[in-house]
A and B are shown apart, each in its own frame.
Chain A
Amino acid sequence: MAGKSSSTPATYAPSVSGQKKRRPLIQADSDWVRPDGRSFHQCRPAFLRTGAVNSASGSAYAEFGNTKVIVSVFGPRESKKAMMYSDTGRLNCNVTYTTFATPLRGQPPETKDLSSMLHKALEGAIILKSFPKTTVDVFALVLESGGSDLPVITTCASLALADAGIMLYDMVASVSVSCLGKNLLIDPVSEEESYQDGSLVITCMPSRNEVTQMTVTGEWSTPKIHEAMQLCLDACSKLGKIMRSCLKDAASVPQD
């Protein structure tokens, strides 16, 4: 029997010879084209679908270009024994990556950070008082990481929560913008993210026009932040419409 060697020998991924991803030189507002041909203020095509996992009380699948995420929500259930009594419900988020999500086969380090960011993004939108003493578990699995993963995870999670019938103040949409020199690139792909100067990620409730989470890195002037926020907010409202239509036609076609 070909016994599998218990400890797999050290392996390395053959990297592309010679070519290093240099940051493309961009003059101020030249007509530099983004790697996938989009204009600066154009988001990737969004594909959203609910009911991806049958054994979960609510689930959703989201695909933005190459970023593919599945989120499943397990409805209000009894929380862990260690937890004390609390008259508001609790939210428990967990984000994991598949081993083949990133081009290089390793787990990206900041999954713990992503889980707490997802938790902060969603806790503002859920009516926690509607399920006291219990916990809602939101688990996300990133099948493929193609850039701006956290916004796609947050959007897909809010769709899964709606599919699970959890009471929400409003849907939650999230978009990220990265700044490259003077230009603002919306919904960046992982290549653009690797050489961005700064980034701004906004999670907001489109129809209530409230921001539940916002993170900025890099150096920004106030007018730039204002312009970037405006850009994100109307992208979020467009995304909110797409999510609503996705929920409507999921409800209209009876579950087979």
Chain B
Amino acid sequence: MEVERKDGRGANQLRPMDHSRNVLNRAHGSANCSHGGTRVLAAVFGPKAGTKKNENPEKACIEVVWKPKTGQIGKPEKEFEMILKRTLQNICILTVNPNTTTSIIVQVVHDDGSLLPCAIHAACAALVDAGIPLKYLAVAISCCLTDSGQILLDPDKLEEQKMKAFVCLAFPCSVHSVLPEGSATAGGEPVAHGLITSLTQGVMTVDDYFRCLAQGRAAITPLSNILKKKLQSQSANNQSIAG
């Protein structure tokens, strides 16, 4: 029943990932992230004074602009903007600099499937590059469900269209360092198991969803280590340049 994937990857095997930071000089923070064919460029313009009209001045306000590869901003882009904005509100510490607006511009360079996770990683890396205080990093994965009920991780564009349904999940990165010990296991479950964002497309049964959840969570820990290693190695040579 093992579904053979076109590019020969195993069910749980992710596409090669590459993150590079500080790619734009004018932005306060910028990052370029690519998952296999999908490449996204994110730029952060540091906390600017004043919040938009209906925003809460006591908290920092995050504004996301999603630039598609071609064409103008339609409804799908607006939805991605809202999801990315709410996700980043989860991971940023909003009370640090109140009454400011941090604007994040996401430019899709090439879309070859599971676009949102790649955008989330790019945005997080750009925020780290800009030195915005974060509670933890968000690690995102998307998995799709074949008609036979088998779950494939990190689908590309063709697989996404062919499959019955697909789920995009975002989890907090392993968080041992920042939060005090007690709160790490909120309600008997380690915080890392909490879900920041979940977006599903297509009809599936409830336990299919929970299987996707478990599979996604299992793939998170190795993914977050790769992410952290890439970010730390990058900041190391930054210091060397700056130092």
Judge: A and B partners, yes or no: yes
Q: Are A1 and B202 in contact (CB under 8 A)?
A: yes
Flag whether A215 is at the interface (Cβ < 8 A). Answer: no
A1 to B201, CA, bound (A): 8
A1 to B163, CA, bound (A): 8
Q: Which residues of A contact B202 (CB under 8 A)?
A: 1
Closest to B166 in A: A1
Q: Which residues of B contact A1 (CB under 8 A)?
A: 161, 201-202
Closest to B163 in A: A1
Q: Are B74 and A6 in contact (CB under 8 A)?
A: yes
Q: Which residues of A contact B74 (CB under 8 A)?
A: 6
The interface on chain A, measured as residues whose beta carbon lies within 8 A of the other chain's beta carbons, has a size of 2
* Interface residue SS majority, chain A: loop
Listed from nearest, the 3 A-B pairs whose CB atoms lie closest are: A1-B201, A1-B202, A1-B161
A6 to B74, CA, bound (A): 9
Residues A1-22 near B (CB distance < 8 A): 1, 6
A6 to B202, CA, bound (A): 19
The interface on chain B, measured as residues whose beta carbon lies within 8 A of the other chain's beta carbons, has a size of 5
- Give min CB distance, B193 to chain A, whole Å: 29
Closest to B165 in A: A1
Q: Which residues of A contact B71 (CB under 8 A)?
A: 6
Q: Which residues of B contact A6 (CB under 8 A)?
A: 71, 74
Closest to A6 in B: B74
- Give min CB distance, B146 to chain A, whole Å: 14
A1 to B161, CA, bound (A): 6
Closest to A3 in B: B161
Q: Which residues of A contact B161 (CB under 8 A)?
A: 1
Identify 5 residue pairs between A and B in the complex whose beta-carbon atoms are under 8 Å apart, listed by A's number: A1-B161, A1-B201, A1-B202, A6-B71, A6-B74
A1 to B113, CA, bound (A): 14
A6 to B75, CA, bound (A): 10
A6 to B161, CA, bound (A): 17
Closest to B162 in A: A1
- Give min CB distance, A83 to chain B, whole Å: 15
- Give min CB distance, A255 to chain B, whole Å: 27
* B 62-90 binary contact with A (CB < 8 Å = 1; else 0): 00000000010010000000000000000
A1 to B71, CA, bound (A): 21
Residues B173-208 near A (CB distance < 8 A): 201-202
- Give min CB distance, B32 to chain A, whole Å: 28
* B 106-124 binary contact with A (CB < 8 Å = 1; else 0): 0000000000000000000
A1 to B145, CA, bound (A): 13
A6 to B76, CA, bound (A): 11
A6 to B71, CA, bound (A): 11
